[in-house]
Chains A and B, each alone.
Chain A
Amino acid sequence: MRHLEITDLTAGYGGKPILRGVSLGVDKGEVVSLIGPSGSGKSTLLRVLIGLMPPSTGDVHVGGEEVDYGKRASVAALRRRMSIVFQQFNLFQNMTVLGNITIAPIKTRGVTPAAAEARARALLDNVGLADKADQYPDQLSGGQQQRVAIARALAMDPEILLLDEVTSALDPERVGEVLDTIRTLAGGGITLILVSHEMHFVREISTRVVMMDAGAVVETGPPSQIFGNPEAARTRAFIGSIVGGL
């Protein structure tokens, strides 16, 4: 059994299907990038995985355990192993940076405030924001907020981290600092699943790339295959259109 096993997953809004049977296996420590045109279901797949949108059919296994998205306890257990970073950061606006990073470990994992704060300060140091601990999110730039959001997700010690277009809402000159932060995570034992339009970054960081279209997986392979010698015509067309002369 692989670390994350998605089997024939479907989901949709009000009868309109968005995921039409996605199957995907991910091993521990892998960096898997989801690419594909807008509306292909990449972000929806992440939202379903973390339990923000109910699946219609299909199974998800994490570490060999099946997730029952209809049961609060099962979803809570899942979220102790899996965390997500959103495109729009979703930092709690009523809390300082430190509060954002410490509150969930304290309230949902029973970590002592002192231990949570020590961990938070170490994580902030890692993302280069040690001096921003007492600021509020709206006092930070988008790139800084996103690095805080990454630190917040890491404070939960997830085995799997989902990154949903984490640079799409940023000013171009802020993208690099966030990508640098993600680079430091890759290869560190944590499983990363990311949706990104930064194709150079995807090619560089991924162990595997998953091409999605119309709610299904079109092709899966190492970056060299997907970007250099794609098998599916749909992948070829997409790569050709989006990267041009990559």
Chain B
Amino acid sequence: MIERIISEAPTFFSAANLGFVLAALGRTLFMTFVGCGLGFGIGLGLAVLRRTHAPMLAPARWLAMLWVETFRRIPFLVILIMVLFGVQPLVPEISLIGIATIAVTLVATAFLSEIIRAGLESVPRAQVEGAAAMNFSAWQSFWLVVLPQSWRVILPPAAAFMVMFIKDTSLASHLGVVELTFSGKILVNRGSSPVLGYGIVLLGYFILSWPLGRLARYLEVRLAPSRNH
């Protein structure tokens, strides 16, 4: 086996193959970052909505809760298939990666909104009362006091979720999205050694997730309110 790897290596690490894997890695990155980024934004909105008390917003709060509870409970593969059959008839020209990214967004919204909600709730009520007594509006209190103090609680689990989801996007290969895992499979089908074909996939996932994990740890330290934390 070693001999096969050594003899294959020069042809395997060709510019064409590397470019192919790199493009696939780009797709994995795209689905994860765009999906989780959108999911974070929408999730933040849902978390804020669920903290409101106005009776007028009760139906919206209920829908938000339904969204969160639903998409946290369905396997990602099922969501991928649901989005495929739900969205493709409406927007026939949509790409497969677009469909996969929507699916990632749906799941990320549900999980991240709960992470964000826990972060917002970690800020003591006294901070909000202090802001109110200083004549801050509800929005000022949220943006200037509550949210900045939540990052410390939100970011580590949010980054962990994203690192985990980098791996889960491999399920998009079932739709035919040529992401990292699928690219390895294609290389092996073309005759490459599985050790090389999937080895480069493994390396790709490591290269994606390791710096992100480091970044999360850096942010955790950086965003602490002071050196005492």
Contact = CB atoms under 8 A, between A and B. Distances in A.
Which DSSP category, helix, strand, loop or mixed, fits chain B's interface?
helix
A107 B136 contact: yes
Nearest to A152: B134
Interface stretch (A29-37, A88-96, A219-227): A88-96
B133 A52 contact: yes
A68 to B, nearest CB: 16
A69 interface: no
Contacts of B130: 86, 90-92
Contacts of B134: 79, 83, 103-104, 108, 152, 156
A142 interface: no
Given A50-B133, A79-B135, A88 B126 contact: yes
Given A93-B149, A94-B148, A107-B140, A52 B227 contact: no
A238 interface: no
Contacts of B145: 92, 94
Given A51-B132, A79-B133, A94 B225 contact: yes
B228 interface: yes
Interface in A42-69: 50-52
Contacts, number: 66
A144 to B, nearest CB: 14
Interface residues of B, number: 21
B5 interface: no
Interface string B135-170: 111001000110011000000000000000000000
Interface in B104-138: 126-127, 129-137
B226 interface: yes
Contact of B136 (A52, A80, A86, A108): A108
B143 to A, nearest CB: 10
A84 interface: yes
Contacts of B133: 50-52, 79, 83-84, 86, 90
Contacts of B225: 93-94, 136, 138
B135 to A, nearest CB: 4
Contacts of B229: 138
A163 B84 CA distance: 61
B166 to A, nearest CB: 30
A138 B226 contact: yes
Contact of B228 (A104, A136, A152): A136
A130 interface: no
A76 B132 CA distance: 9
Contacts of B131: 92
A94 B144 CA distance: 9
A52 B132 CA distance: 8
Nearest to A93: B225
Contacts of B140: 107-108
| 8 nearest A-B pairs in the assembled complex, by CB-CB distance | A90-B130, A136-B226, A104-B134, A79-B135, A94-B148, A108-B135, A90-B126, A94-B149
23 contacts: A51-B132, A52-B132, A52-B133, A79-B133, A79-B134, A80-B135, A86-B126, A90-B130, A90-B133, A92-B127, A94-B145, A94-B225, A104-B134, A104-B136, A107-B136, A107-B140, A108-B136, A136-B225, A136-B228, A139-B226, A139-B228, A156-B134, A156-B135
